[in-house]
Structure 1
Amino acid sequence: MSTQPRDTPASQAARRAKAVRWAVGVIAALVTAVGLVLMFLLALSTNNRTLYEENYARLFGINVVVAVLLSLVLAWVIFRLLRRLRQGKFGSRLLIKLAAIFALVGVVPGVLVYFVSYQFVSRSIESWFDVKVEGALDAGLNLGRATLDSLSADLMNKTRGASNQLADVPDTSAGLVLERIRDQLGATDVVLWTGAGQLIAGAGASRFQLNPERPTPQQFRQARADRAVAHIEGLDETPAAQGAQPPASVRALALVQRPGFEFNTEPRFLQVVQPLPPAVVANALAVQEANREYQERSLARDGLRRMYIGTLTLCLFLAVFGAVLLAVLFGNGLARPLLVLADGVRQVAAGDLRPTAVLQGKDELGGLTRSFAVMTQQLADARAAVEKTVGELDAARGNLQTILDNLTSGVIVLDDTGRVLSTNPGATRVLRAPLAAYEGQPFADVPGLATFAQSVQQQFDDFEVERAQHGLDHWQHAFELNAGNSGMSQDAISIVARGAELPGAARLLVFDDISEIVSAQRAQAWGEVARRLAHEIKNPLTPIQLSAERLEMKLSGKVPAPEQAILTKSVKTIVDQVDAMKRLVNEFRDYARLPAADLKPVDLNGLVTDVLQLYGHENAPNALHCELDPRCPPIRGDAQQIRQVIHNLLQNAQDAAEATAAQGRHGEVVVRTRLGDSGRRVRLTVQDSGPGFAENILKRAFEPYVTTKSKGTGLGLAVVKKIADEHGARIELSNRIVDGAVAGAQVSLSFALAGEPQVALAHTDDSKPSTA
């Protein structure tokens, strides 16, 4: 027996499943990595408003794509599990159960956390944009504006007051006054401008500038109209450096009034620049920035909510996917040893004891697979030993069965209730019944054997009693099967049966067909009777005939005419009956004293032609047709005895045809010779158109004194049978059936060719009767 591990469809499927698992693992790892990177980018973007705004659409699209991929992979895994379940693969239910357990362990908490987080995110984002927060930001912004407006108004009033100091000061002396005003107001820059925007004098930072910043025409017009104007600069400018405050300041512009009414004098304007307090600037910028961001996020809060919820959903998908994937992987890890064991059990149940697959794990399941492989090997060794023993038993049983099949005796094994356990072909041949089809059924149910079965059962019952009393080991009895009231039936069989007990309450019945032996004994008995009759009867026949003839000769002419007629008729009757008795005695003598055949090459066609000359139109009352095969070679036989066979058969056929002609039907006789298909035997067939044989005559037609003719002795066919046996020829007698009706009878003899060894004739094509 091969000890190589089997490459079963289950192992091939396991290798394919392993490759699929590797592919799924790689794809899952890639998708998980992409999802984690995406979550990191989402977290980074939500902390950076500019980056978030720039990449919102891109991040949202990638988020959707990853979610769809995760959904497809998850759906594919579930589809494979369901397909395995529909296909009825072993372990699919266990795998689904394990996957469901692990998935529930991972999914249920994830879904719970998802819904809690969803509610938290939704409410938290809404809480960020509360009305109170918005009011506080508006109040802070207004407070800052009011403070800046107050500082601007204060500087504007101070500048208007300081401009009076320049009313009588000429342009050339304005510098000193401007220095004094700068010190008084704490300004960083004080400049005196003409109405056309030309610099007259300055004190502070403007002295060091080649082109100081001048007020706009609109500011000049407003200052001329309102005598003074102020505005804040620097709060809307971008900081110069990271973390530095912008150079915010209050710039005031006041008209310098001239004394008197000088219409042609060009007006002058005093410009004072005073820096704002850093704390005020910082607070104002902070409130302004906070309000701006608040308004921006208030407008974008729906998108922000969607992004956070999308991130949560992606996290949920990752959690679910990871849970199901781990469930499938862990389930496979747990179910794989069980699948290996189940496949091994299924293969062992199917009779395949080759070594099973072994897992190399160090856990209990791996050890169980190794133990199962060891057990399978032990079973294989045990089966090999059993198969060797069974092979020897089968060989012995085969020899015994061959012996039984070739026995001419019939053998039947019955149980104690009379049921047929087994039979051999000899039993079917002897009993002429399909016994093999009735194995397992009562012996009495076999058609035509009910009486025989009852007799056998009675013999076994009597044997049980006698064995207990006398210690017998078998019984023996003769039976006559299918014998009618006359004792002559077509299927009458004489058998001798022997019965014995077998172990296990079984019963052995052995029987032989002794019909041929009985027939031979009967023929021998008839031969002895014929010899004695010929001896006892033939001696007185001649004196009786001579005495009757002498009486007729002495009394003829001496008695009156009436008595003379009676005398003549009586003597004739005596002489005719004596002749009939002589013929009967001669036939018995011939049957009893038939000499041994002197077998020599004989031309069968020539013998038939010679005999047929005695049955010409003047001697044969019925038409006789001859069909001789010119291919027939010489046969081995005794010419005189074969001539007697042909004569007896033709005489019987003429008698049968004459009986048909007496009924008004056309009678004819056909004699036919034919070389057999094998070229080793020659068949002689004689057919008539008579009434045929009755069913109870066919079986015993070759026995002496069995005849259908009222004046026949029944020795004709008996002599033919005896001569055929001397020649080793097979003889067959049957009725000719035409259109379902008996159209006559035919007798066939099959002779061996000259030079062929004389052996028992087998049932070959050459020995089959002609149907022509």
Structure 2
Amino acid sequence: MTRMARWGWVITLVTLTGVAGVLAFVLTVGTTSERGLFERHYHWLYWVNVAVAAVLTLVILTAAVRLVVRVRRGRFGSKLLFKLAGIFALVGVVPGLMIYAVSYQFVNRSIETWFDVRLASALEAGLNLGRGTLDTMVSDLATKTRDAADQMADSATPQLLALERVRDKLGVRTVALVGGNGQILLESGGDTHQLTPDRPSAALLRQARGRAPASQLEGLEDEAAALEGGAQIRALALLPNTELRLGLGERYLMVIQRIPAPVVANALAVQAANNEYQQRALERVGLRRMYLGTLTLVLILAVFAALLLAVTLGNQLARPLLMLADGVRQVAQGDLSVRPVLASRDELGGLTRSFADMTGQLADARAQVSRTVAELDAARTHLQTILDNLTAGVLVFDPEGRIETVNPGATRILRLPLSAYVGRPLSDVPGLAEFAAALTQRFEQHLGPDPAERDMDRELWQESFELQLDPKQGPLALLVRGAPLPYAARLVVFDDISEVVSAQRSAAWSEVARRLAHEIKNPLTPIQLSAERLQHKLESKLEGADQAMLTRSVATIVNQVQAMKQLVNEFRDYARLPSATLKALDLNALVQEVLSLYAEAQEKGRLVPRLFPNLPPIKGDASQLRQVIHNLVQNALDAVQERPDGRVTVRSSLSLTETGAPRSVRLHIVDNGPGFAEKVLKRAFEPYVTTKTKGTGLGLAVVKKIADEHGARISLRNIHPPSDAGSPPEDGSEPPVIGAQVSLSFSNLAPATEPGAASAKT
């Protein structure tokens, strides 16, 4: 039972006890004959009823407001409580109102019938009759007193004797002569227990100063004294002054007549009956109010009891539902802690126990799922770590062909922001539409059109692809492996084999050069000697045009044999290029040594060195690097030979890390010539690739091979004018080429204290 329910029951018991006490008191008072009891206790009984009714009304209003607030807030079970409260309140109020209306009419009519209207009229008529009789006696005595005063003034009889005559004539108890100040001057008759009669009041004297006599009724205030003869009529009349004497003053004739005892008794009885009737009438109003107040209190109590019963029963019914609702809400929020259950053995208690069991099972299942997810996350993290550190590129596609997973190796190899295209097809990546189509076709060939005919013995396929992603750079050679994954996903793993292909091509060209040098060089000397011998034997025997033709033919043969020898020697040198012997050397000193061979070009301003001072030493082979620098500078000078303003700049620089430590030393050979052709940019480092009319095209191939021996990176690019130098072409093509640049980056640095680092002549 909740705290509010306990308080409700306490208030109900207290109220029932108070109402029972009030009703018992009312019944007790109704059966007693003590008069005026209702009048004495009516007020506090009334206010007790009002206080109890106010408390109950306040409790009912509080409960109603709380219930309305719960309904407006949408609390679970509030609508059910509201309906139950309304039903019970209706059941309690409607019959209560009917009983209240009937009881109200019954009380009013019952109490009204307790008092007879004719009796009230008779009492009123008797009271009026008694008052009229007494008034008549008072008036009659006043008239007789005035007449007696007039007669007494005209008579010459002594005053005492005149008073006796008046008393005998009027038949009254006392006759007295009173002075102007109310003093008794002369008296006749009187009471045995009182020597002199009471003096008249000042008001009666003032009233009697005129010609009209004054009279009043006395002694009826005290009922006991009146019944013992204390009721009397006092009359006072002014006595005319017939004597012409000064200083005599005003005198009054006072007559006191006793009221007969039966008349007094009847008058008092009528007055007492009237007073008692008025008291009864007052008691009737109080009793009616008391009964009506009690009925109202009982009605409010009935409504309160009905509401309390509705709240109690509603709580008993809604408590399991509220527990279930709270449990469902907490479960929805992820709280699967132990749920409370009801101890009752009914269906609702069983429902709460079943819900608690289900919550416990869900908690166990979630714990198992959490452990599984943690293990899966650990495995995924482990796998992701492996993927992030793989040099190979990895792509995972979902069943719809969208990119699901991509590792940094794929971004590094393809040089494209693949992570930004996760969730999209590979064909949306710029430049990879053909590659995506080729992958799809290769997977379809591997899996087969019919799942029943697929070769499941082959779990993966492997194929090489060549991509041209950047026109300014060479093609990208990829070795791609693909495998199907569960749920129709697909895995693609690829490696950049461009360097491997380049090395294979270099090795193949070395083998070709070696074979050419071996197969071609041997016949060249006999050919040259035979041609020279023919010229020597036949030149003297021929004359004129024949001799000239012989001389030209032999010269041609000798020149071509020399060219073939030079070609064979270059191929031999390319094939027999010795391994580099790496030692510490100063790159700036090596560059200055090579540029000293081009003093004339420097004097004309066509060759300009710009070397970064204090470069850290690098590890390299001085003889091979000298050949590299010589080849690059000569190629650049050849490129600007036809330009009158041609210039070649040899520049060195230093690249630093974030901490300021040296990272690499770079050498740039820049010219303002026509630049590299597109086919040269794509395959510049392959043998026999050149744009010159003379030469074998082995220069850059030798440079690339030496750079690889030194672990250096070499790159070629054309130089375009800056974007602010002019507006771009309207057709959207690239800006014109204004030069070319060849760059070498040496990351294999040597300590500055290593022997030989200060000199390049090693």
Q: TM-score, normalised by structure 1?
A: 0.67
Q: Secondary structure at the match of 1:683?
A: strand
Please report how far the alpha carbon of residue 651 of structure 1 lies from its aligned counterpart in structure 2 after TM superposition. 1.7
Structure 2: give runs of 5+ residues left out of the alignment.
30-35, 179-183, 238-244, 246-250, 724-734, 753-762
Shift of 1:670: 2.2
The match for 1:191 is 173
Q: Pairwise mapping of residues 111-130 of structure 1 onto structure 2 (< 5 A)?
A: none
CA distance in 1, matches of 2:578, 2:212: 184
Q: CA deviation at 1:282?
A: 3.1
Q: 1:397 aligns with which of 376, 380, 383?
A: 380
Aligned to 1:251: 232
**TM superposition shift of 1:672:** 1.8
1:612 alignment partner, one of 595, 599, 609: 595
CA contact (8 A) 2:223 2:268 kept: no
Out of 194, 201, 211, the residue aligned to residue 189 of structure 2 is 201
Q: In structure 1, the residue corresponding to 2:487 is in which secondary structure?
A: coil
Equivalent of residue 590 in structure 1, options 564, 573, 584 = 573
Distance 1:353 1:217, change over 3 A: closer
**2-structure distance, mates of 1:157, 1:676:** 149
Structure 2 counterpart of 1:634, one-letter code: P
Contact 2:528 2:558 in 1 (8 A): yes
Among residues 486, 489, 497, which one is paired with 1:506 in the alignment?
489
Shift of 1:110: 5.9
Separation in 1, partners of 2:465, 2:751 = 41
Confirm whether residue 273 of structure 1 aligns to residue 252 of structure 2: no
2:686 aligns to what?
703
Q: In the TM superposition, what whole-angstrom CA distance separates every residue of 1:230-288 from its partner, at most 9, and x where no partner exists?
A: 865455x3778xxx9998976356999xxxxxxx9997846223233545523334436
C-alpha spacing 1:147/1:416, structure 2 compared with 1 (3 Å): closer
* 2:437 equivalent in structure 1: 454
Change (3 A) 1:676 1:737: farther
1:432-511 to structure 2, matched below 5 A, reads 432-465=415-448, 468=453, 472-482=457-467, 490=473, 492-511=475-494
Aligned twin of 2:32 = none
In the TM superposition, what are the counterparts of 1:76-475 in structure 2 within 5 Å? 78=65, 91-92=74-75, 94-95=77-78, 98-99=81-82, 102=85, 106=89, 140-150=123-133, 191-196=173-178, 198-202=186-190, 206-213=191-198, 232-234=217-219, 237=221, 251-252=232-233, 269=255, 271-275=257-261, 276=263, 278=265, 280-287=267-274, 341-355=324-338, 376=359, 378-415=361-398, 418-465=401-448, 468=453, 472-475=457-460
User: How many angstroms does 1:748 deviate by?
Assistant: 1.6
Deviation for aligned residue 1:145: 1.7
Residues 591 and 433 of structure 1: is their aligned pair in 2 closer, same or farther, counting only changes over 3 Å? same
User: Is contact 2:227–2:264 with CA below 8 Å preserved after alignment?
Assistant: no
Q: 1:78 to 1:224 in 2, by over 3 A?
A: closer
Return 5+ residue gaps in structure 1 as ranges: 1-17, 257-263, 757-772
Aligned equivalents of 2:226, 2:610: Cα separation in 1: 147
Assess, with a 3 A threshold, how the Cα gap between structure 1 residues 638 and 157 changes in structure 2: closer, same or farther.
closer
Which letter does structure 1 place at the counterpart of 2:647? G
Aligned partner letter, 1:674 = L
2:651 to 656, 664, 671: 671
Residue 284 of structure 1 aligns with an amino acid whose one-letter code is Q
Given residue 667 of structure 2, which amino acid in structure 1 is its aligned partner? L
3-state SS, counterpart of residue 641 of structure 2: helix
Matched, 1:523 2:506: yes
1:748 corresponds to which letter in structure 2? L
CA distance, structure 1, for counterparts of residue 196 and residue 346 of structure 2: 90
1:745 maps to 741
Q: Which residue identity lines up with residue 466 of structure 2 in the other structure? A: L
How far residue 96 of structure 1 moved from its aligned partner, in angstroms, is: 6.4
Distance 1:118 1:326 in 2: 24
Q: Note the 1:619-630 alignment, pairs <5 A.
A: 623-630=606-613
Q: CA deviation at 1:619?
A: 8.5
Q: Give the whole-Å Cα distance in 2 for the aligned partners of 1:532 and 1:621.
A: 43
Query: What is the number of equivalent residue pairs in this alignment?
Result: 682
Q: Tell me which residue corresponds to 1:732.
A: 715
* Corresponding residue of 1:658: 641
Distance 2:608 2:705 in 1: 26
Q: Hey, what's the Cα distance between the residues in 2 that align with 1:751 and 1:217?
A: 146
**Structure 1 residues 693 and 238: alpha-carbon distance in aligned structure 2, compared to 1, 3 A threshold:** farther
Identity of aligned residues (%): 46
Distance 1:597 1:71 in 2: 106
The answer as to whether partners of 2:607 and 2:649 remain within 8 angstroms in 1 is: yes
Does the aligned pair in 1 maintain the 2:517–2:571 contact within 8 Å? yes
- SS of the residue corresponding to residue 646 of structure 1 reads helix
Name the CA distance, whole Å, in 2 between partners of 1:685 and 1:716.
17
What is the CA–CA distance in structure 2 between the aligned matches of 1:278 and 1:694, rounded to whole Å?
157
Cα distance between partner residues in 2 of 1:689 and 1:310: 118
Partner SS for 1:478: strand
The equivalent residue for 2:523 is 540
Cα separation, 1, equivalents of 2:369 and 2:340: 25
String of CA shifts for 1:96-119, please: whole Å, max 9, x gaps. 663576368548976997899799
What amino acid is aligned across from residue 440 of structure 2 in structure 1?
Answer: Q
Q: Corresponding residue for 2:732?
A: none
SS of 2:132 mapped into structure 1: helix
Structure 1 range deviating more: 97-106 or 380-389? 97-106
Q: CA deviation at 1:364?
A: 8.0
Residue in structure 1 matched with residue 248 of structure 2 by the alignment: none
1:596 CA displacement: 1.4
Q: CA deviation at 1:543?
A: 3.8
Q: Deviations over 1:533-565 (max 9, x none)?
A: 222222333344445555666677886676666
Comparing 692-701 and 565-574, the one that deviates more: 565-574
Kindly provide the amino acid, as one letter, of the partner of residue 505 in structure 1. A
Structure 1: distance between partners of 2:621 and 2:226: 155
Separation (CA, whole Å) in 2 of partners of 1:320 and 1:480:
91
User: 1:487-510, CA deviations, whole angstroms, 9 ceiling, x for partnerless residues?
Assistant: 998463333333333333333333
User: What CA distance in whole angstroms lies between the structure 2 residues aligned with 1:755 and 1:255?
Assistant: 158
TM-superposed deviation, 1:641: 0.9
User: Matches of 2:297 and 2:640 in 1, distance apart?
Assistant: 112
Aligned equivalents of 1:563, 1:729: Cα separation in 2: 58
Is the 1:622–1:657 contact (alpha carbons within 8 Å) kept by the matching residues of 2?
no
